[in-house]
Amino acid sequence: MTTTLRFILTGLGNIGRTFLEVALAKRALLRERYDLELVPVGVVDASGAAADPGGLDVAAVVALKRQRRSVGELPGVGRPGQSALELLERTSADLLLEATPTDPFGGQPGLDLVRAALRRGTSAVLASKGSLVVAFAELAGLSDLSEGAGSRKPCLRFSGAVGGALPSINLGWRDLAGGTITRVEAVLNGTTQMILGLRTRGSSAAAALAEAQRIGIAEPDASLDVDGWDAACKLVIVANAVLRQRVGLADVRVRGIGEVTDEALRAAQAAGGRVSLLAVAEAVADGYALRVEPTQLAAEHPLARLGLDEMGIVYHSDIAGRTTATSLEDGPDMARSTSTITPAPMKANVRPVGARIEKLNGCSCHNRDAATPATMAPSMPLAITMRRGSVMMAGINSRASMATKNPMTMKPRALMATLLSGNGKQGMPWQ
């Protein structure tokens, strides 16, 4: 029996609009594979909202946004000037999809939206980081993430807010469950990765930033990227969700890329490595020390292999050794994306799990090197495993080029995967 899921989407920028396009394109697959029908009953942008309890015309919404017009203009269903919070309060829905712009210091408008949704028993899937950075403990307490909540509280999911399609939350939360994580290293900001890479190739800092803005990966306020705050926000979410340490931005030592010299970039390249803005959580006596700073990565470091438009995360743990995931986005053609999670060898006599390939929405997900001794037992497959009605592991790890005509499909795709699977946790209530 097909489950109908009525949702409200707040935010219709690149992420929100592209999510609707993905949902429309995958409508038949969602019915066939997940017995799920996604019905948008409310959407909102900066100038107004639109609502219809019977379901909005997605194609009409997308067409209007491509013309840079407000959904408040939609005939019959448009509500000019209505805010996101007013839409949420006046519209009955099963789910909030939150994709408004991020305010890492105040958390608004997302914080009020997610708070209101959870308080009324509506589950929430987030692409926006701000509310989680400012009030993770509060929002977790209102959701099924609270201790002993079981199925009595609404779900809160947010894997797509931390590195888009990179399985940063899923990998640490579920796949390393039972182990002790001693260190996390991550490249979580695509803008600085591109700027530093282009500067290594001879571009000026200004020209490199302009290119990142042109293809759409930079935050609206680019200083959040360049000064390290975007990466710090993502590290705060990882620390709260995966490492179970209640921290905020004030607990992270942050240094941006503004002082990185061309000489330092050339020296790193000459040594076979590169400079990246690295987010690090390191176990100390009383928890984890958090920092974000430009770091010269040696040639043998797994994140030194990342290209201009790649992100990646490395977990070090007692039971799995070193586990790495990387992500490279391919624009709008979802059939060309693939996924890799690469465990590092721990002992020479550990037998390899072997490459296992399965398909998720046209994405090939596999252990990159079948000959590499795996650090997980064969009962813990490296591939994404599926069953009808749920995805056991999501957060697609895409590989391709971000410099395409639609560079913003990573987060919408990750938003879809998070909606279907959760944060690598238990399934959602509609599954």
- Percent with pLDDT over 70 in the chain: 75
Confidence of residue 423 (pLDDT cuts 50, 70, 90): low
- Confidence check: pLDDT of 335 > 70: no
How long is the chain?
A: 431
Q: What is the pLDDT of residue 14?
A: 86
Confidence of residue 217 (pLDDT cuts 50, 70, 90): confident
Q: What is the pLDDT of residue 195?
A: 96
Phi-psi region of 46 (alpha: psi -120 to 50; beta: other; left: phi over 0): alpha
Phi, psi angle pair for 274, to nearest 5°:
-165, 165
Mean residue pLDDT of the chain comes to 81
Phi, psi angle pair for 324, to nearest 5°:
-120, 140
Phi, psi angle pair for 50, to nearest 5°:
-145, 140
Q: What is the pLDDT of residues 160-203, one digit of tens each?
A: 999 988 999 999 999 999 999 999 999 999 999 999 999 999 99
Phi, psi angle pair for 161, to nearest 5°:
-80, -10
One-letter amino acid of 411? K
Q: How many beta carbons lie within 10 A of that of residue 142, not counting itself? A: 21
Q: What is the pLDDT of residue 376?
A: 25
Mean pLDDT of the region 255-281: 97
CATH fourth-level superfamily of 180-317? Dihydrodipicolinate Reductase; domain 2 (3.30.360.10)
The CATH classification of domain 3-161, taken from the options 3.90.550.10, 2.40.50.100, 3.40.50.720, 3.40.190.80: 3.40.50.720
- Confidence check: pLDDT of 374 > 70: no
As a three-state string, the secondary structure of the chain is CCEEEEEEEECCCHHHHHHHHHHHHCHHHHHHHHCEEEEEEEEEECCEEEECCCCCCHHHHHHHHHCCCCHHHCCCCEEECCCHHHHHHHCCCCEEEECCCCCCCCCCCHHHHHHHHHHCCCEEEECCCHHHHHHHHHHHHCCCCCCCCCCCCCCEECHHHCCCCCCHHHHHHHHCCCCCEEEEEEECCHHHHHHHHHHHCCCCHHHHHHHHHHHCCCCCCCHHHHCCHHHHHHHHHHHHHCCCCCCCHHHEEECCCCCCCHHHHHHHHHCCCEEEEEEEEEEECCEEEEEEEEEEECCCCHHHHCCCCEEEEEEEECCCEEEEEEEECCCCCHHHCEEEEEECCCCCCCCCCCCCCEEECCEEEECCCCCCCCCCCCCCCCCCCEECCEECCCCCCCCCCCCCCCCCCHHHHHHHHHHHHCCCCCCCCCC
Domain ranges of the chain: 3-161, 163-171+324-410, 180-317
Work out the angle at residue 220's Cα, subtended by the Cα atoms of residues 330 and 361, and round it to the nearest 5 degrees: 25
Residue where the block lists tokens 């938003």 = 415
